[in-house]
Amino acid sequence: MIPGKVGIGKRPLENERCDTWTFGEKTQTNQIPGSLPKWLVNDKKILRFWSYLIEPISEGGLGTSLKRRFNVYYFLEDDSIKVTEIHSSMGRVSHETFIRRHRIPFKGNKFRLKTK
């Protein structure tokens, strides 16, 4: 109830007396139960990393190395990786898929990211 705001007959307005009449009981909606599967908890969550590769050039007179820039996307829902190469020419930036989205096996043929 807002102080000083009254209805007809100087009584409090009915809709300001109790919030549960309109909206129901308050519930906690931002808690995620521990029993949900990983793919549902991490749905649409992506880690993005910027990287580059310096590639030596043996031919041509423009320089001795070429710097190639990449975006690395790590999808948390299924542990898959996607790599796109960033090309910039004449002020336009384009992204070309270098590695399509899929799971990459690591040492021992396990599909998990090594943390150590």
Q: Where are the domains of the chain?
A: 28-109
Cα–Cα nearest to 79, from 52, 115, 51, 108: 115
Contact 76, 48 (CB under 8 A): no
Q: Which residues contact 60 (CB under 8 A, 6 or more apart)?
A: none
Beta strands in the chain (DSSP E): 46-56, 65-75, 80-89, 92-102
Q: What is the pLDDT of residue 43?
A: 87
Q: Which residue has the higher pLDDT, 85 or 19?
A: 85
Give the DSSP letter of residue 22: H
Contact 83, 75 (CB under 8 A): no
Q: What is the pLDDT of residue 46?
A: 93
Contact 57, 63 (CB under 8 A): yes
Q: What is the pLDDT of residue 72?
A: 94
Q: What is the pLDDT of residue 116?
A: 47
Q: What is the pLDDT of residue 58?
A: 79
**C-alpha distance from residue 16 to each of 9, 10, 22 (Å):** 15, 14, 10
Residue 97 has pLDDT above 80, yes or no: yes
